[in-house]
A = this chain, B = another copy of it.
Amino acid sequence: MFRKDSASDATFRKQVRSWFEANLPRELRGRTVRPPPADLMVWYKLLSERGWIAPHWPKEHGGMEATLSEQIIIAQELGRLSAPHLPLQGVNHLGPILMRYGTHEQKQRHLPPILRGDVIWAQGYSEPGSGSDLASLTTKAELKDDHFVVNGTKIWQTWAHHADWMFTLVRTDPEAKPKHAGISFLLINLRTTGVKTKPILNIAGDDEFSQVFLDDVIVPKENLIGPLNGGWKVANDLLANERLFTSSPQHALEVVHRITRLASANGRDGDPVFRDKLAALRIRIIAQEALFWQAADLIANGRPLGPASSTMKLIATSNLQAATDLLVDVADTHGADVRRQSVGDDDLDVTRIFLQSRRATIYGGSSEIQRNVLARRVLGLPS
């Protein structure tokens, strides 16, 4: 809406689109439940072979070194075909962290398998007692000679029960004040003795999450990333820019697309009350697009996003949920059916989309936490 592709971006989009259309397996399109890893990693490896699995990585590490607008184009074109969500914790989270904080050996060892899709990574930050108050985490790692002994439990890892490794935050100084000064960033091989994982079904019946139990797990000291007790900064440093993609208007627009298809199938598209609601939603998403493109410009200009990422997340998540609300609304008496609501080739899957969108305002810093951050850091309100 706000940006037309430049000539070179248009060429790039064309190239990406035709390759995706030719190569993304049809049975992986439009899935609202995560396919099994074996199916999914086929697509991961195809992208990897094409050199497109890590658009934002520098060439020296095997990435595309794509411009931000190219990265956005890839995300848009994947969304256009409703490509499945891949386990990209390694590519998106750990990779950039290793590039900034890893030693030469750490980079050599871990980056190539991420790129090839040989290793699936899970992110292990939250604990049962530490959600919004992450700094209170208690999983303990005691340094003994050349290794850590880790005890505790981590929860809400995406797909840890299918993962090979986990990057995680552990407490290495129980006395530290403030609490986040006693936390380190550690890589743990999930095949190590003493590690157990348990899948957790989400509200939509998808095995999205896991709990990981760590019982006297031996972790070599070389798996420490960044300084001992310096893990808080390692984990948080690159968060803001990542949020650009999680706050993309595309997620809500994909739901709008479902809404319009359903409405034209069931005749609601001629109802002025529906049109008013849809227009209100679309206008809100236009405002979100404006924020998104401005943030992209800031990042492209090397300027920090800062608390603006909290604003974006609040807007993105509330728009997404407003969209799924309208989807259920338009479905009327079928708003609770789990049978696939097919319109032409499309599976609209109203209930699952609605249920999954509950996640948005809870994970990655709940809306309440984002508001606390903005109250403190932008408005300067007292605590």
**Does A273 interact with chain B (Cβ within 8 Å)?**
yes
List, in ascending order, chain B residues with CB within 8 A of A276's CB. Answer: 273, 276
A344 contacts the other chain (CB 8 A): no
Name the B residues within 8 Å of A382 (CB-CB): none
Complex: chain B residue closest to A271, CB-CB: B272
Q: In chain A between 236 and 287, which residues have their CB closer than 8 angstroms to a CB of chain B?
A: 271-273, 276
A276 CA to B273 CA in the complex, in Å?
7
- Closest B residue by C-beta to A275: B273
CA gap between A272 and B273 in the complex, in Å: 6
A272 to B271, CA, bound (A): 8
Chain B nearest Cβ from A76, distance in angstroms: 32
Residue in B closest to A279 when the chains form the complex, CB atoms? B273
Chain B residues positioned under 8 Å from A272 (CB to CB): 271-273
Residues of chain B within 8 A (CB-CB) of A273 are 272-273, 276
Cα A276 to Cα B277 in complex, Å, equals 11
* Distance to closest chain B CB from A120 (angstroms): 42
Q: In the assembled complex, how far is the CB of residue A98 from the closest CB belonging to chain B, in whole angstroms?
A: 43
Cβ distance A277 to chain B, nearest Cβ, rounded Å: 9
**What separation, in Å, do the CA atoms of A313 and B58 have in the docked complex?**
60
Taken together as a complex, chains A and B put the C-alpha atoms of A272 and B270 apart, in Å, by: 12
- Closest 6 A/B residue pairs (Cβ): A272-B272, A273-B276, A272-B273, A273-B273, A271-B272, A276-B276
Chain B neighbourhood of A271, CB < 8 A? 272
Question: What is the CA–CA distance of A273 and B277 in the complex, to the nearest angstrom?
Answer: 9
Compute how far the CA of A271 lies from the CA of B276 in the bound complex, rounded to whole angstroms.
11
6 A–B pairs (Cβ distance < 8 Å), ordered by A: A271-B272, A272-B272, A272-B273, A273-B273, A273-B276, A276-B276
Minimum CB–CB distance for A99 against chain B, Å: 46
CB distance from A173 to the nearest CB of B (A): 31
**Residues A220-238 near B (CB distance < 8 A):** none
In A272-329, the 8 Å CB interface with B consists of 272-273, 276
A273 to B271: give the CA distance in the assembly, Å: 9
Nearest chain B CB to A376 CB, angstrom units: 20
Shortest distance between the CB of A351 and any CB in chain B (Å): 24
Taken together as a complex, chains A and B put the C-alpha atoms of A153 and B233 apart, in Å, by: 53
Distance A273 CA – B275 CA, assembled complex (angstroms): 9
Q: How many whole Å from A330's CB to the nearest CB in chain B?
A: 14
Distance of A311 Cα from B271 Cα, bound (Å)? 35
Q: How far is the CA of A271 from the CA of B273 in the complex (A)?
A: 9
In the assembled complex, the Cα of A276 lies from the Cα of B272 at a distance in Å of 10
Task: Determine how close the nearest CB of chain B comes to the CB of A375; give it in whole angstroms.
Answer: 16
Complex Cα distance, B276 from A243, in Å, reads 37
> How far apart are A269's CB and chain B's nearest CB, in angstroms?
14
**How far, in Å, is A265 (CB) from chain B's closest CB?**
21
In whole Å, how far is A276's beta carbon from the nearest beta carbon of chain B?
A: 5
CA distance A80 to B71 in the complex (A): 64
Looking at the assembled complex, report how far the CB atom of A381 sits from the nearest CB atom of chain B, in whole angstroms: 15
Once the chains are docked, how many angstroms separate the CA of A276 from the CA of B276? Answer: 10
Q: Which residues in chain A, 87-131, are within 8 Å of chain B measured between CB atoms?
A: none
In the complex, the chain B residue whose C-beta lies closest to that of A276 is B273
Determine the residue in chain B with the shortest Cβ distance to A273. B276
